[in-house]
A and B are shown apart, each in its own frame.
Chain A
């Protein structure tokens, strides 16, 4: 029987009481990207990109140009001094092209089709006004789509993730390796751009699946076998690592359920997100909260969903949203435990199962922490059920609501019903005033 925590039909804290189904895609919708305060783009396996109004759910544009599925999408706001701010989106597709779209006109600005392999990730370096495409090599482009420079062929598998680091550096996840590149902008000495490989980090045992910036000084990586490494963003050294944190024995508050053989799928770090304090990791079906200062997992929900968690996001209000292959979206809240921490599970219990020394030490450390600091836990405050298939990603618009995309070809816009109702009233009275119906007619 599934041990997934469930919440009843009564969800007082769940604000999403209204939904809009946005139809348009004909295949799995994999990507959502925010363009500005009220617009977002969606893309997926049908190769079509849609622009939506996040408030009204109105379909703004249907962008057709790719012949294969979309593999990466990034939004890019150009800051030409001459013009007003222009919102662009970049899309990469399995047809080995990258297209730049204008979000205002819905037109294709330019198309690049000189790639040798599929571009799997796109990163915009707003500061340098360039963007990077990562496939089997790493290319640097400027806004006008001139190829500025590129690396040599790195790998056939291609770059799976790319982030910007300080000092014009980027970190690229290539298989098990993490490669740091430095971008050299034109200066007095040279007119040309250049990109240099600075360092190769080979600490991960398996493919790096997620790569995320925490702050200017730190970034985190997660791998397929559940390793989580915190890196220093300046000197690229390992600050901390957590390898078996998914293991139930580590946590005193975990249920006494032990799986001796975890399948890799259940331990892979699918997605990472962070705020200043913590890194939130979607590991298998579970969610883990890793405290950067304490260098340990402070809370977890080991089976947060019925199947793999695909995306996880932290909201400003201490809430955490996760979506999963099981088609549900869940809202969690990180809470401090009010009561005294539960009695630590006697170590003897674990010894029975013959755990190694390292684990024990970790356990000890955890216990020590518990004595001194507060204990956190993730409480399920609501779930959103609407999709009939895996929810690939979601995008939070704060007050405006939440957009989720799924393998069932749909995008659902979840909204706060109360707020929407209020807004509609406002519109009604605006319209009344406009029509002059508010005046008393004699």
Chain B
């Protein structure tokens, strides 16, 4: 019985805890490329963040530098809180409060059952605006936190917790992009190495060829006489035309084709 009571108490407490505002503002989970830019953030819309039913209430947003969240919390009790830190002077001097307040919309525009990840609220949509509570751009590259407020008229009824710190993008100088050497690809090494080797080899073989040809002509020049006799057949007198052991096959062709050029030595036949 006691455990049953404890369980019932715990579940009741859990329900109570859920009904208390524990939602924190968060960056939209939708797939938007400009979620966090240098001076703007896209947040999820505050559906079901406040449980109060208040027909004339509005939801306001406090974008603040992460270093100034305590300043805002200290100023929370001030009755002029809505216009205490106007946007134009919120970030520009050393004495600035580094937060500003801007109206998101009426509480009735954000009912629980219409909650969706696709709905978003752009902080900084108004750019460099001049009114007190405009949705102005955030300082470039700063670290910011957000808090939603439930406001009735000009008094704050309740607030959410501070969101996690969100770091805005700091644009780097493009000159700093390292133009360092990207490295050599394998193709380049292969092509260069093989082609250079081929050129060298060709040159070498070319000179070898020239040497070989020159040497060969020199050798053959030493041996041949001025008017060399090409003797296709040399028959000595004792052979009697029976056999021709001294035929020179190198001049076989000349023996048959160019009879005028052949220096065939026919010995005088001594026929008795």
- Say whether A associates with B: no
